[in-house]
Amino acid sequence: MAYAIEAQGLRKSFQTHEAVRGVDLAIRQGELFALLGPNGAGKTTTIHMLTTLLRPDEGTASISGYDVVKDATVVRRHISVTGQYAALDEGLTGWQNLTLFAGLHGYSRKDAHALATELLGSFNLEDAGSRTVGTYSGGMHRRLDLAAGILSAPQVMFLDEPTTGLDPQSRRELWEAVRRLVKNGTTVLLTTQYLEEADQLADRIGFIAQGRIIAVDTPEQLKASIGGKTLTIRLAEGTDSADICHLLASEHGLAAHSEEDELIVKAAVPEAALAHAVIGTLIGQGAAIDDFALSEPTLDDVYFALTPNRGSEVGT
Ligand SMILES: Nc1ncnc2c1ncn2[C@@H]1O[C@H](COP(=O)(O)OP(=O)(O)O)[C@@H](O)[C@H]1O
Ligand SMILES: [Mg+2]
């Protein structure tokens, strides 16, 4: 059976800038796939090619076996793309918006009313349904947008950074809505800059950086691929984290990096015993350490292992 989403060697340049440089994807029906990467990595450009909005310079892509260029009209009937809530009428209530969309998709008046009411319920918008959309919060907007998006019963949904800029509570509510979609069999390709979001939601994650997919796997496998444990060291105020990173490299051959306020240094260690040796070295050299901990690797650690020179562009 054809993949829900398949891409081979997709490329797209804007003038001289190569935004997407050879993207391959094979996403199964019913899968929730997260394309995870920093701003400018090429996520939206990839989605635009998969959703027929942009023509690839090179490569091919298909949705449920239909080519995004040759069979663009059929592809559009199979998909829904959110993040385009320009389609929502701010002057109408949530219920009126959904009723209108349902009518456009061929539902009778009675069925449209019932569907609108049902969707408001399942997206936690019962109370908001009778208010005009102009009064909605960012999170309510996105949920109504999702509800409108699934009205056409798409086989494949594209959610381009659906939670960027939302507060944690709204983000969780949107996650719930997305989980429900996938439970009902919809294939979802979601893009995000948030590691935690990909970890929470995705069956598989594709890390994208500078237009290329640099790793694809389940969150569990990605974390396991690091091997060993992560040593996190909190330095005392006034300590130079770069010096500590150099010391860990020269004394123990570890690729360490610093984070946040530069007072946290992290390194992957193959075994706990090495962590003890590292701390011993640091204390022996007179480094001022406030705290240290050994933990299982996170997606954050995977990201740093994959992009050692790129710094912390992706959020947690
Ligand atoms: N229409 C455009 N014209 C010129 N450059 C663009 C255009 N769209 C995107 N880009 C550039 O292509 C790169 C990838 O952009 P995009 O796909 O939007 O990344 P992401 O969605 O991961 O943030 C960026 O460097 C961006 O500035
Ligand atoms: Mg984008």
CATH number at residue 267: 3.30.70.790
Report, as an integer, the average pLDDT of 40-44.
Answer: 96
Q: Using pLDDT thresholds of 50, 70 and 90, give the confidence band for residue 311.
A: very low
Nearest CA to ligand 1 atom 11: 19
Q: Is the CB of 44 under 6 A from ligand 1?
A: yes
Cβ–ligand 1 contact at 39 (below 6 Å): yes
- Same structural domain for residues 215 and 260? no
Measured in Å, residue 204 CA sits from the centre of ligand 1 at 24
- Average pLDDT score over residue span 236-251: 92
**Is 141 found in the same domain as 24?**
yes
Do 32 and 178 belong together in one domain?
yes
Task: Check residue 313 and give its pLDDT.
Answer: 53
Residues 111 and 237 grouped into a single domain? no
- Residue 207 pLDDT class (50, 70, 90 cuts): very high
Which of 14, 48, 313 to probe ligand 1 with, by most ligand atoms within 8 A of CB? Answer: 14
Q: Is there a domain that residue 68 lies in?
A: yes
Same domain, 85 and 108: yes
191 and 240 housed in the same domain: no
- Say if ligand 1 is within 6 A of residue 12 CB: no
Select the more confidently predicted residue: 315 or 199.
199
Q: For residue 192, how far is its CA from the centre of ligand 2 (angstroms)?
A: 8
Question: Is 313 a member of any domain?
Answer: no
Residue 156 is assigned to a structural domain of this protein: yes
**Would you say residue 259 lies in a domain?**
yes
Shared domain check, 233 and 210: no
Q: 47-56, 57-66, 88-97, 151-160: which has the minimum mean pLDDT?
A: 151-160
pTM of the model: 0.84
Nearest of 228, 242, 238 to residue 290 by alpha carbon: 238
User: Is the CB–ligand 1 distance for residue 38 below 6 Å?
Assistant: no
Do residue 232 and residue 190 come from a single domain? no
Does residue 303 belong to any structural domain of this protein? no
Q: Is residue 90 lining ligand 1, measured as CB closer than 6 Å?
A: no
Give the pLDDT of residue 149: 86
Q: What value does the mean pLDDT take over residues 284-304?
A: 91
85 DSSP 8-state letter: G
Per the structure, the complete domain to which residue 137 belongs is given by 3-223
Shared-domain flag, residues 115 and 240: no
Write down which residue in 223, 242, 275 finishes a domain.
223
Q: Are 54 and 12 in contact (CB under 8 A)?
A: yes
In a domain, 154, yes or no: yes
